[in-house]
């Protein structure tokens, strides 16, 4: 019997078997804690993060984590990805349900111009 965190880690490992990021199409990895949400675009071939955004940044830190905050983080990652020359990504939900905050972040990133 495992904990909820262990179950999420198992789901994430299962997803990561098939989801790989490259320089042209990086992996958009999402991590959600109780207080913040983080997202980064990762090139798994080179093993480096291209751009990142989180709700822990100066202008978002004071806000509670809700779908509205996740939407702002999604818009932020979309804008930063455009500046870095990234238009397509593969979405890695990190073992979380594609629902609520994770979905809000993904939808906002799509509206900002990212394709996945």
Q: How many domains does the chain have?
A: 1
Q: For residue 2, what pLDDT is reported?
A: 82
**116 located within any domain:** no
Q: What whole-number distance in Å separates Cα of residue 68 and Cα of residue 76?
A: 13
Q: For residue 106, what pLDDT is reported?
A: 98
Q: For residue 6, what pLDDT is reported?
A: 96
pLDDT digits (tens, 9 = 90+) for 27-85: 999 999 999 999 999 999 999 999 999 999 999 999 999 999 999 999 999 999 999 99
Task: For residue 48, give its domain range.
Answer: 4-111
Mean pLDDT along residues 3-25: 94
Please give the DSSP secondary-structure letter assigned to residue 21. -
Enter the tokens of residue 61: 């830190």
CATH code of residue 67: 3.30.420.100
**60 located within any domain:** yes
**53 located within any domain:** yes
Report angle CA 99, 86, 11 to the nearest 5 degrees. Answer: 35
């Amino acid at each position: 019997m495992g904990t909820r965190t262990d179950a999420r880690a198992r789901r994430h490992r299962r997803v990561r078997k098939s989801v790989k990021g490259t320089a042209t199409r990086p992996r958009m990895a999402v991590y959600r804690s109780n207080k913040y949400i983080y997202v980064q675009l990762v090139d798994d071939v080179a093993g480096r993060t291209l751009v990142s955004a989180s709700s822990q940044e100066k202008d978002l830190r004071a806000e509670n984590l809700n779908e509205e905050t996740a939407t702002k983080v999604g818009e932020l990652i979309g804008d930063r990805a455009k500046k870095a020359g990234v238009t397509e990504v593969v979405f890695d939900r990190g073992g979380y349900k594609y629902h609520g905050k994770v979905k809000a972040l993904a939808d906002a990133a799509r509206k900002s111009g990212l394709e996945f």
